[in-house]
Amino acid sequence: MSSPAPTAVFPGLRLGDLEVATPVVLAPMAGITNAAYRRLCAEQGAGLYVCEMITSRGLVEGDKHTLDMLVFDEAETTRSVQLYGSDPVHVGKAAEILCTEHGVDHIDLNFGCPVPKVTRKGGGGALPWKRGLLGEILEAAVGAASRHGVPVTMKTRKGIDDDHLTYLDAGRIAQEAGCAAIALHGRTVSQAYSGRADWEAIGELVAHVDIPVLGNGDIWEAADAVRMVEQTGAAGVVVGRGCLGRPWLFRDLAAAFAGEQVATLPTLGEVRDMMRRHAELLCRHMGEERGCKEFRKHVSWYLKGFAAGSDARRSLGLVSSLADLDALLADLDPDEQFPTAALGAPRGRQGSPRARVALPEGWLDDTDGRGLATTEDAVETTGG
């Protein structure tokens, strides 16, 4: 089954001096977008592949877990990192460290995380409510990174909830601070990952700012990405949960944005080969024992919709060596066709909307926050 080729050819993405041939960004996902997965996706198609999110405090303090996450594959020609922080001083220092000690080519700042333990401290998706503080953080990051020619972007959500929207102000502040682009997840913090993403808000932000806007939310197939760009005028897309268990989505995205025919859906045999390659890369970076453990979480995503039985899924979810993995994968039917019923369906976590977002006491009382330096956990690992 193939999708018709799009009629238009879309330009690449330019972030400062950094050029991305295909206007597609892999969203940082904790425990997912490590060096192995980034390489796996990059082997499929062009794009910008962002490292798992790290905290500015963890980097500045030399936290071992944070440094362990700053690993790049030898094939990565562009090093992209998402940085989280709520203190302008820490964020500025962290940006300097990334540029001078880790050779990064792009820094993205996370202001979209909806996790209560983060928003409760005024971080993540709660922070843009404090417009002044947001500006201080962005200016600190851009000031540090620009000395090294490294572009800074930011990711945010529509706002805390429908009564406390921040995305238009965030776009203006990002532009004034010198950010190279802003990515908007078309949901509020209170929605988390539930419901439908608001693509109209993405279009409104495009019309509101002069810097590139990247759209995020509900991109499950390559056709969704093309449709989002056509409907909103966005300069590109950010893809998160849609690629879970489907790294070949980046092959389809590269084809779609180039105006080419999107590839045929993979058989279970082709998926099996992709699973083996993923596990191999994980083991190369982490060692076989840890690599196989890390691979387990991906099994259900790869096999979603296929007829593989519960015994096979359970055994694959307990795999402890590449030899065991090879034996189990050999039992899968290589000729089974891709389950078309799984197309366009949400993947990964969804959850339910929250009646109330966890915020610091009095957080909504004013919208400035300049000089207010909240403190994040050094090892916070999440996304937005």
Mean pLDDT for each consecutive 10-residue tract of the chain (384 residues)?
A: 54 95 95 97 94 95 94 95 96 98 97 93 96 98 98 98 98 98 98 95 98 97 96 98 95 94 88 98 97 97 92 96 97 94 79 88 94 69 58
Positive or negative torsion for Cα 109, 115, 117, 121? positive
Which of the 8 DSSP states describes residue 137? H
Answer yes or no: are the C-beta atoms of 229 and 215 closer than 8 Å.
Answer: yes
Q: Cα–chain-centroid distance for residue 220?
A: 14
Residues 377, 27, 289: CA angle, nearest 5 degrees: 70
For residue 361, what are its two tokens?
């006491």
Q: Round to whole Å and give the CA distance between 384 and 101.
A: 26
**What is the pLDDT, as a whole number, of residue 1?**
40
Catalytic residues: 113
Residue 240 burial by Cβ neighbours in a 10 Å radius (0-12, 13-18, 19+): buried
- The residues that bridge with 48 in the sheet, in sequence order, are 25
- Tokens 């460290």 belong to which residue? 97
Residues forming beta bridges with residue 25, ordered by sequence position: 48, 238
Q: pTM value?
A: 0.93
- The predicted pLDDT at position 369 comes to 92
User: What pLDDT does 364 receive?
Assistant: 96
Question: What is the distance between the alpha carbons of residues 37 and 243, in angstroms, rounded to a whole number?
Answer: 11
